[in-house]
Chain A
Amino acid sequence: MDIEELKNEFTGHVFDKIDLKVEEESLVGYARACGETQPRYIDPEHPDFQAVPNYPTRIHGTRGLPKNFPIDMHRCFDAGKSVTVHAPIRSGDQIQGRSEIADIYEKTGRSGGMLFIVHRMNFYNQDDVHLATVDWRLVQREFD
């Protein structure tokens, strides 16, 4: 498998979109279950009520990898997530997540080769304000 070819073919363009309305109950339950105690994240009556910063990580697109991507999603494991916050997500927001492959790279360890795929979702609200970027690192071991 040629990594450069994969990058050239699959990175840098949106391959999936998903729309979702942000519900108050979901924001509160998510924050409380994580142990959040600050009113701006758990009290809908707070004037600055908003989602906890990593809330958009719960949103997945309709597919994890682009059509015809030569890796089986089910052979990958979740190696981590990075969230960059650009603006608060509010209850009632109608948000859209746009998926792209941001990077593909390989690492070699004692147990062999590992392929890293960075699935990036950018989130926008109903006014097209950029809310957050979530990078989801998928790893497949023993690829060839």
Chain B
Amino acid sequence: MPEATDKSFSDIEFGEELPELSPDVSLENVKLFARSALMMASRFISHEKARESGLPGAIVPGIMSQGILVALIHNWAPNAEIHNIDTIFRAPLIVDTKPVANGVVTDIDEDSKVIELDLMIKNEKGETPVVGTARISL
């Protein structure tokens, strides 16, 4: 992936798509997240334990999905200041899969200089278990 450069407000176009991000949701990386966030629940770090509780496998913590969307924004615009990010967890995102994160510019407020983004994470089936919005400035 080419290294992103800082952006200015005038660089941004309505409908612009953020470069796709392929996050690492391997069990090893989710364990790193879980340790850092003090969220060592077995449903996040053990496929076996998660299946015992009726899940299809270990699941990515919702707030890690939100963090992936934050990284998506910074990978597009390293200098982005995120004022608000709101995510909806529609379905579990499964550990050791290959999701992709996407975003698009949905509003540009010329007065406040605030930019709004729609964000999503898709799973391998093309479903969107995580959707969100963000308000940023540059």
Contacts and interface: CB of A to CB of B under 8 A. Distances in A.
A17 interface: no
For chain A, give the interface size range: 20 to 34
Contacts of A28: 36
Given A34-B67, A58-B37, A85 B75 contact: no
Interface residues of B, number: 33
Given A26-B36, A33-B30, A80-B89, A85 B68 contact: no
Interface stretch (B10-18, B46-54, B58-66): B58-66
Majority secondary structure of chain B interface residues (helix, strand, loop or mixed)? helix
B123 interface: no
B89 A79 contact: yes
Interface in A83-132: 83-85
Contacts of B33: 29-30, 33-34
A53 B74 CA distance: 11
Contact of A34 (B35, B70, B84, B89): B70
Interface of A: 25-38, 41, 52-54, 57-58, 78-85
